């Protein structure tokens, strides 16, 4: 089980990464990779998110149709896409994956 200190360090590191992304891309959007609820499908403006550990999985400079198609496939029962493909697309867009 992670200690409170480890959790706090992770929060601070991910917040630094978020802030860095927002400096480069003020209108960046963020989302979830696994869609457990209907709301998980929606992209949100990164700047408007109340930041907490694991509140989003990734951020990208702008919405991307190809990424959304990959996520749709990942979350479908057939799941015919690997998470590596999703990470590669996020990286190609200049985005980041949060831990």
Q: Which domain holds residue 47?
A: 4-97
The burial class, CB within 10 Å (0-12 / 13-18 / 19+), for 71 is buried
What pLDDT does residue 74 have?
Answer: 95
pLDDT along the chain (99 residues), means of 10: 84 90 96 92 92 83 97 91 96 94
Contacts of 36 (CB under 8 A, 6+ apart): none
Total tally of structural domains belonging to the chain: 1
* pTM for the model: 0.87
pLDDT at residue number 78: 85
């Amino acid at each position: 089980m992670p200690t409170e200190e480890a959790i706090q360090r992770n929060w601070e590191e991910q917040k630094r990464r978020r802030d860095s992304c927002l400096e480069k891309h003020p209108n960046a959007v963020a989302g979830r990779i696994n869609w457990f609820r209907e709301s998980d499908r929606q992209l949100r403006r990164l700047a408007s998110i109340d930041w907490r550990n694991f509140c989003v999985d990734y951020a990208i400079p702008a919405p991307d149709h190809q990424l959304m198609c990959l996520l749709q496939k990942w979350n479908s029962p057939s799941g015919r896409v690997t998470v590596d493909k999703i990470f590669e697309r996020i990286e190609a867009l200049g985005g980041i994956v949060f831990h």
